[in-house]
Structure 1
Amino acid sequence: MIDPAVLEPLADDAWPARERDRLGGWRLNASAGRSMRINACWPLSAPDSDPEAALNAVEAWYAARGLPPQFKLTDGLSESIDLAKRLAARGYAASKETLVMLGPTGGEGDPAIQVLATPDAAFEAVFTATAGDPEDGRERIEALARIPAPARFARLDVDGAPAAIGASAIGGGFAGVFGMRTAPDHRRKGLARRVLRALIAEAATLGAGRAWLQVEAGNAPAIALYADEGFAPAYGYRYWARG
């Protein structure tokens, strides 16, 4: 459906880490250490040195920041095939299998959903309430604020209180969908579907012809929702870290 070499750089740019660096085609991301996407090395193409030397450099880069080294290896990228063997030899193991799904943009918006260019306090309240812990929520909110323009932040209120949210980043003719969250008291009511539809409708007006999103491979309800909205798996990735 799409070459990961095309979409992965857009995904990295759409969810920017607090600190970023490169070793040739390897992208290094560091933030507060919780969100794996912005605390991992993304080997998208060849590094600027021998692979073993590059691995040593990555490990030293993260050690200097007090963070464990992690690698995001993507299916379909030739760099990942050799690196998986090298990382396993160093004591790393794969975890958190994730699907990248690709779908259409367009459709009708929802007048009940507010779509803003920046996240407001109500949006952040839902995000924080559904985060794994306060520090995790804070790190992700900071990442949301770094999404380059044009970005959109959708919020659906129920009885005057924020109930469901989602965000999108536009780049390279695609819309990346992030941060889909529903407050615990409002789950299984179809609110996430409405937020998703609002985001992809807005994305079409901003010039995005297709949308992509990332979802953990074990999250069957979310995958079913996205599939029902026209999204299909494009490829997958895993994080490699030491136990």
Structure 2
Amino acid sequence: MEISAAGRLEVRITAADVGKRVSVRTMIEHAAPGEKFTDTVGVLTSWDKGVLLITRKDGERVRIAESALVAGKVVPAAPARRRGPAASYDELARVAARAWRPVESERLGDWELRAASGFTRRANSVLPLGDPGLPLDEALGVVRRWYRERGLPAYVQTATGAEGTQELLCAELEERGWVPEVTAELWVGALAPVADRGDPAGVVLSREAGEGWLARYQRKGLSEVALRVLGSGPSVWFATVPGAVEGAPPAAIGRCVVDGRWAGFAAVEVDPELRRQGLGTAVMAALARRALDEGASAAWLQVEAENAEARALYAGMGFAAHHAYHHYRAPDAGGTGR
């Protein structure tokens, strides 16, 4: 907290600091003994009518009465990260977008409108990396019309928790009634340790998702559009561990997209009856070795907040969270897959 030369706590933020990362201390009403204050760190997304709105790294929004402020200061735009390769949000957002391409897209200034017949939110949402070239309300009107013409709900993909992420846009969307759905995180890590973690023997790599791979993939009844999305990306590899019985679905599968220094992992799935036997690790090791051969050195993947088993696996491989991402659904729009 900010402390004056006289040793007093001071509030050194104002409404002019909206958009900056801040740390504030507030008084707790009816606090238990020893719990007089609480601290909040995040981006100051608004300061209106005596109420501050602060967005934390994970996207949680905290409302604080100005009258409860005890101390506050502006802090560096993003906390120092001690694990994983250095990368900006913009770089990772673009790499992730190239690894999961829609079948149709259109530019709106620096925003990209993406559609793929409703197959996953990632391929059917706006990626707003910059200025749409219009006032926000007009831009959102264009977005809603564009998706309505295609019979799809309108989504905007945003991120929080790293330098250059979109806490202010999240606040603007929520003020307009857009609803956040399926918050997840993008994690990064060094690639070589992944390659060394498991035994890739028995893992079959292919450039295409064959019938066996698709039989294990969690999304059933895939359309031709979905297959195009799965096969999209600069250099795509599919990994399969055959089942013990001929004709049965594979024991495990995975997907990796190599893009320059980055290798992006996805769709790592294991037969529920065969989990905790190292099959998921083996799949990732085989894909990582192929990515290293193609010149990659860093890795990324996406994981949902409630998937404790996956998070433990990836943390053990050296991955750490870089930022959280969210899909905001337009008011009164129906949902679609992640």
Q: TM-score, normalised by structure 2?
A: 0.66
- Equivalent position amino acid for 2:123 in 1: I
Counterpart in 2 of 1:96?
182
C-alpha distance 139-187 of structure 1, shift in aligned 2 (>3 A): farther
- Which is higher, the Rg of structure 1 or of structure 2? 2
Alpha-carbon contact 1:74-1:237 (below 8 Å) kept: yes
Structure 2 match to 1:114: 204
Aligned pair partner of 2:154 in 69, 76, 79: 69
Cα pair 2:260 2:295 within 8 Å, conserved = no
- How far residue 78 of structure 1 moved from its aligned partner, in angstroms, is 4.7
Distance 1:66 1:140, change over 3 A: same
Q: Does 1:134 align with 2:221?
A: yes
State whether structure 2 residue 177 is matched by structure 1 residue 87. no
Post-superposition offset of 1:47: 1.3
Deviation at 1:48, TM superposition (A): 2.1
Query: What TM-score do the two structures reach when normalised by structure 1?
Result: 0.90
Kindly indicate which of the two structures has a greater share of residues assigned to helix.
1
Q: Secondary structure at the match of 2:251?
A: strand
1:25 aligns with 2:110: yes
Per-residue Cα deviation, 1:68-104 (whole angstroms, up to 9, x for no partner): 1011111236562332222112211212111111112
Letter in 1 for 2:181: S
CA distance in 2, matches of 1:134, 1:186: 24
- Percent identical residues: 31
Q: CA deviation at 1:208?
A: 0.7
Partner of 1:214: 302
State whether structure 2 residue 92 is matched by structure 1 residue 2: no
Could you tell me how far apart the structure 1 residues matched to 2:230 and 2:149 are?
A: 25
**Runs (4+) of structure 1 moved beyond 3 Å?**
76-79, 137-142
| Distance 1:79-1:196 versus aligned 2 partners, 3 A rule | closer
* Residues 103, 225 of structure 2: 8 Å contact kept: no
Greater Cα offset, 193-202 or 7-16: 193-202
Q: Which residue of 2 aligns with 1:163?
A: 251
Aligned to 2:286: 198
> How far 1:139 sits from its partner (Å)?
5.4
The AA in structure 2 aligned to 1:142 is R
Letter of the aligned partner of 2:306 in structure 1? G
Please state whether the residue corresponding to 2:310 is helix, strand or coil: helix
Could you say what secondary structure the match of 2:212 adopts? helix
| Aligned equivalent of 2:231 | 145
RMSD over equivalenced CA pairs, Å: 2.0
Query: Residue in 1 aligned with 2:138?
Result: 53
Higher RCO (CA 8 Å, separation ≥ 6 residues): 1
Structure 1, unmatched stretches of 5+, are none
